[in-house]
Amino acid sequence: MLIARNVEIYVKSGYQFQPEIVPFQICHFANFVLLFAFALKNKTLQTVAFCFNLPFAMLSIIFADSLENYQTILNWRGMAYIFGHMLIVAITLWGLMTDQIEVDKKSYRNSIIMVVSLFVLSVPINNIFNKLMPDFTANYFYSYRPEGGTPLEWFFNWGKETTLLGMEINIIYIALSALLGIVVLFLFKKIYELYYKFKKSS
pLDDT tens per residue across span 87-122: 899 999 999 999 999 999 999 999 999 999 999 999
What pairs with residue 169 in β-bridges?
A: 162
User: What sign results for the dihedral spanned by CA atoms 148, 150, 151, 152?
Assistant: negative
- Residue 199: C-alpha distances to residues 29, 102, 185, 192, 193 (Å): 30, 14, 21, 11, 10
Q: How far out from the chain centre does Cα 122 lie? A: 11
pLDDT of residue 6: 57
| Total residues found in the chain within this entry | 202
Domain that holds residue 163: 2-201
Q: Which of 10-19, 29-38, 71-80, 133-142 has the lowest mean pLDDT?
A: 71-80
Task: Show the DSSP H helices in 13-145 as ranges.
Answer: 26-39, 43-48, 54-63, 76-97, 105-132
The DSSP bridge partners found for residue 162 are 169
What total number of domains does the chain contain?
A: 1
Structure confidence at residue 167 (pLDDT): 93
- Residues 167-194 pLDDT 10s: 999 999 999 999 999 999 999 999 999 9
